[in-house]
Amino acid sequence: MVTSDGTSGAAAADVAGSSKSSEGSSDLTDKDLLKMMEKLEGLPNDMQALTKVLSDFYIDQQYSPFPNTANIASRYLQALQMMRTANFNRKQYDEAYETVSKNGGINELAINEKGYLICVNDKGDFKYLKPEQLAQTADYQPVTNSELLRLRAYSPELAGDNRILGVVANGIGIEGVTKYIQDFISKLGTADTSKQGYVSTQ
């Protein structure tokens, strides 16, 4: 079962249990966080960002002679929220992959809703370009929906950023486009026939 915030039932139970245990010792809280991390199947870059936050948290605890209780609680809640977000992001990623694969657009060029190609340079910088602009910007190359999914999963700069998943989910293959046009023409022909029949009976 998945809750409204994208957290699985098991993970939600872990969160509730860890919240109660946080009232006890800090050691138990640390164990709870690590246990939840083991069960979490987030995207690689999201998990890397979460791991860094937890690592910094433990380092601060270790070298601080007078731990700030309020700061520890704040870091703990931040880690829990990041875990929920990582779980939600993975769900969004999987749904985008499933949708674009079903529509036959997984290997098609990634195009946003305004008709711009999603292009990337060697440094991982993004730019939206019209097809006619590609010749003027040789440093940027258009990417496919499949490549865009890979960047979302592994690029540190895209950790936690789901905006490009909307572009991927809207991807459609040439067969899908052809079918859409044929269906449209078919419906248009039916409408014309009905109109002509109505006029002739008058």
Mean of the per-residue pLDDT values of the chain: 77
Same domain, 54 and 137: no
Same domain, 61 and 137: no
Contacts of 89 (CB under 8 A, 6+ apart): 42, 43, 46, 160, 162
Query: What is the pLDDT at residue 3?
Result: 45
* Structural domain includes residue 42: yes
pLDDT at 102 over 70: yes
* Structural domain includes residue 110: no
Number of domains the chain contains: 2
Same domain, 94 and 139: no
Its domain, for residue 24, covers 9-102
pLDDT at 137 over 70: yes
Q: Kindly indicate the confidence band of residue 180, based on its pLDDT and cuts at 50, 70 and 90.
A: low
* Structural domain includes residue 107: no
Sign, CA torsion 92/143/112/50: positive
Q: How far is residue 30 from each of residues 5, 24, 61, 142, measured CA to CA in Å?
A: 23, 11, 11, 44
